[in-house]
Chain A
Amino acid sequence: MPCPDLGALRASIDDAPGAAPALHDHVRACPTCSATLAELQHNAELAAPAIALTAPADPPPAAAEAALARFEQRRARLATTRTTPAQTVTARTTPAQSAPAGATATLSTATAPAPAPSPAASPSPSSPDPHPPVDGAPTGRVTDGGNGGARLSTAPRRRWGRRPRLGTRARGVAAALIAAVVLTGVVATPGGRAAAASFLAQFRSQRFEVLSLDPTQATQFEEVVAELVDTGVFTGNAFGGNVYGEPRVVADREQASRLAGFAVPVGDPSVLPRGVGRTPERIMVIGARETAITFDRDRALDYLRDNGRPDARLPERFDGTRLVVQLPAVVVQQFAGRDGGPALLVGKAGMLGLDTEGGASLEELREVVLGLPGLPEGTVAQLRAIGDWRNTLPLPVPTDEVSWRSTQVEGADAISFADPSGRLHALLWQRYGYIWGVAGVVGAGEARDVANSLT
């Protein structure tokens, strides 16, 4: 058999058509083909996990139905627009496009630029589009208005729909804050909940417990959190922006220590992975902050009624209870890789705290929240199963995005994380009253070596 061509060799890796048994026999006997096949194998093995990084999170089952509803609405709008003589159309802009462009562009169909030539021959999808999108909505996605298309399914609107009230970032903050409240599982001291000059710290994170969320649970949870914010059950200034603010880049570890109020960790440079800078390229500090969110009892009752609990009762004293979240200072040291991008991050933070002020105890409020319709039962069960909930910070971990396992760092309980590609590893642990973390484009063993060297 003559030497097979490149395509046949590549196909043999996948056992695809073209990989005849004779080919394998030939390759075993031919050093040139054997070397080429090894190179192709190496290339394929490098490409597979790398390209896998570009894949989206798996859409929830209801996403197609929600998208179809949006499509039908858009189609209906197109039909309406077609009946008017004007041929001026508005070029749609997605958030990603509108940011650099700065404004929505108005184009004429006669002057709209034709798309570039297509690599495909027939049919010709890339031929000039005779009917560019004409809807004026920023993204063409459905909001809660109109014919209620967004309510056709239980699709998680936070991810897959357009919510009108909160930006992505604000929702993220909202989710984090409410997650902190819901997930920390604290119990109030009844006598200590009155409005007081100083708050009684009822919760201190001293250990972690992973809260595994499968994609369905994660989207369900996000949906409920977003709903609680959008309907005003929980309100607070934190929901309008980044509660933590931007990190401040500082000159050195001493300045970082002064700002954060604790010693910045120093590692052993000799254990840093190959290709990672010996000294931090950047040190960032995020100051400690305190923020509060307020519980609205009437809106909570509305929410319960709207979600199948018309007979729900909540004591009036619950109204206006404030949950105060103490966000610790954080210092992150960023070590650059060879391409200048961050290859390793070393972080340290104080402890997260949670206090209350108002008529409802944290235990009571927690019971209300954990009993809200829509929360995934498995998640609630995991939370209730946490024994030392006063001192345990649950870490929600999406199981489709991150794998984890328990380990130890310098004798302290730690959690090791890895992303699906196997390229990113992270460690998180608590020691001496602080939260520590190491993450990077490094091996798990390398991350552990760095972690063990931190003082």
Chain B
Amino acid sequence: MSMEERPLRAVRDEVGTRPGSRERFTGVFRERYRELYGLGFRLLGDHGEAEDVVQETFLRLDGHPVLERPDEEVAAWLRRVCLNTAYNRLRGRRRSTARLERAGRAERADDETDARATPLLDVLRAEQQQAVRRALASLPERQRACLLLRHAGYSYAEIAATLDLAVGSVGVLLARGERAFREAYLDSDDPDPGAHDALP
């Protein structure tokens, strides 16, 4: 096997790591785990998959030169890897679903049965989450990422760093994304403004 074919991590481990890099890595892990898990979950809607995406993200960070960069650069790098890893999973899901549908073995009814067997609020919450995720899935990936990041509380500067954009472009992406989201969301639902009133 040539050097190029070998896993990058194996090479990194062979040359060793700088003193203190392990502490740096674990510090970053502890600091960033929660936000990356949140991002993964928002895209994938599954605890196990979100966990796996975070693990894969940190596996890529392990020994990567970016770890020596300032905190904000590491954070943006991690968010970018996390989002792309999650997107890859979503594509994989679509491919799997398409294969199953072609083979006539799609069993989506299972989910429906479970959801409908769950009483009251859980059913409705799940339905709404699915509607939101369907609407988000219809957006271009950059718009989707921009919406998720913004509504997860990230600043325009952080979004720009994550998506490798100029800060001035974030507003345009956000505006277009929210417009597209509204159209997709309302197309599948009819949220009634009157439904937002106070508790009785």
- Hey, which bits of chain A sit against chain B, CB under 8 A? 5-11, 14, 16-18, 39-40, 42-44, 46-48, 50-56, 59, 63-65, 67-68, 70-71, 74-75, 78-79, 82, 87, 92, 94-97, 99-101, 115-116, 118-123, 125-126, 129-131, 133, 139-141, 159-160, 242, 246-247, 273-275, 282, 284, 330, 332, 334, 337-339, 341-343, 345, 347, 402-403, 405, 407, 416-419, 421-427, 437, 439-448
Contact = CB atoms under 8 A, between A and B. Distances in A.
Contacts, number: 308
A209 B188 CA distance: 37
Contacts of A9: 171, 175
B171 A16 contact: yes
Given A51-B147, A55-B41, A119-B145, A437 B120 contact: yes
Name the 5 nearest CB pairs between A and B, nearest first. Answer: A7-B171, A7-B172, A125-B81, A131-B7, A10-B175
Nearest to A426: B121
Given A53-B128, A247-B116, A443 B178 contact: no
B59 A347 contact: no
Contacts of B80: 120, 123, 125
Nearest to B148: A51
Nearest to A122: B164
Contacts of A419: 121, 125
Contacts of A100: 96-97, 100, 106-107
Given A6-B171, A247-B117, A56 B200 contact: no
B121 A284 contact: no
B48 A95 contact: yes
Q: How many residues of B sit at the interface, in one of the four size bands?
A: 35 or more
A218 to B, nearest CB: 15
A56 B168 contact: no
B168 A339 contact: no
Nearest to A141: B51
B75 interface: no
Nearest to B8: A130
B194 A126 contact: no
Contacts of A121: 164
A332 B8 CA distance: 56
Contacts of A427: 200
A440 B163 CA distance: 37
Contact of A11 (B13, B107, B171, B198): B171
B138 interface: no
B46 A115 contact: no
Contacts of B110: 99
Nearest to A5: B172
